[in-house]
Amino acid sequence: MVLTDRPRLAFNIMVTGLLLGVLGDALLRVGPWGLNALVWTSWFVGAAVGLAVWHHLPLARSALALAALALLYAAGLLWRDSETLKLLDLGALSLLLAFAAWQARGTRWLAGGVLDHAGRLARAGFDALGGYVPLFLGEALWPHPRADGWERQARGVLIGVVLALPPLIIFGALLMSADAVFHQFVGRVVDIDLSQLVSHLIPIAVCSWITGGCLVGLLFKDRARDTDAAVPQFASLGALEAGVVVGLLDLLFLSFIIVQVRYLFGGASLVEITPGLTYAEYARQGFFQLVTVAALALPLLLGADWLPGATDKRWFRALAAVMLLMLLLILASALHRLRLYQGEYGWTELRFYVLAFMSWLAVVLGWFGATVLPGRRERFTAGAVAAGLVGVLVLNFWNPDAWIAEKNLEHARAGHRLDAAYVARLSGDAVPVLVRALPQLSDEDRQTVRRRLHRWAKADTRDWRVWSWSRAAARTALARALPSVAAQAPAPHRKLL
Q: What is the pLDDT at residue 11?
A: 78
Q: What is the pLDDT at residue 139?
A: 52
Q: What is the pLDDT at residue 373?
A: 83
Q: 223 falls in which pLDDT band (50, 70, 90)?
A: very low
Q: What is the pLDDT at residue 219?
A: 77
Q: What are the DSSP calls for 72-136, one per residue?
A: HHHHHHHH---HHHHHHHHHHHHHHHHHHHHHHTT--TTSS-HHHHHHHHHHHHHHHHHTHHHHH
Distance CA 285, CA 337 (A): 9
Q: What is the pLDDT of residues 282-315, one digit of tens each?
A: 655 566 777 788 888 888 888 777 765 544 567 7
Distance CA 410, CA 268 (A): 21
Give the mean model confidence (pLDDT) for residues 429-446.
91
Average of per-residue pLDDT values in the chain: 77
Q: What is the pLDDT of residues 33-53, one digit of tens each?
A: 889 999 999 999 999 888 888
Going by C-alpha positions, the residue among 360, 409, 348, 346 that lies closest to residue 388 is 360
- Decide: 429 and 82 in contact? Cβ < 8 Å: yes
- Whether residue 419 is predicted with pLDDT greater than 60 in this model: the reply is yes
Give the mean model confidence (pLDDT) for residues 406-429.
90
Ranges of each domain in the chain: 3-219, 239-398, 401-486
Q: What is the pLDDT at residue 141?
A: 47
pTM score:
0.79
Q: What is the pLDDT at residue 107?
A: 61
Distance CA 416, CA 134 (A): 63
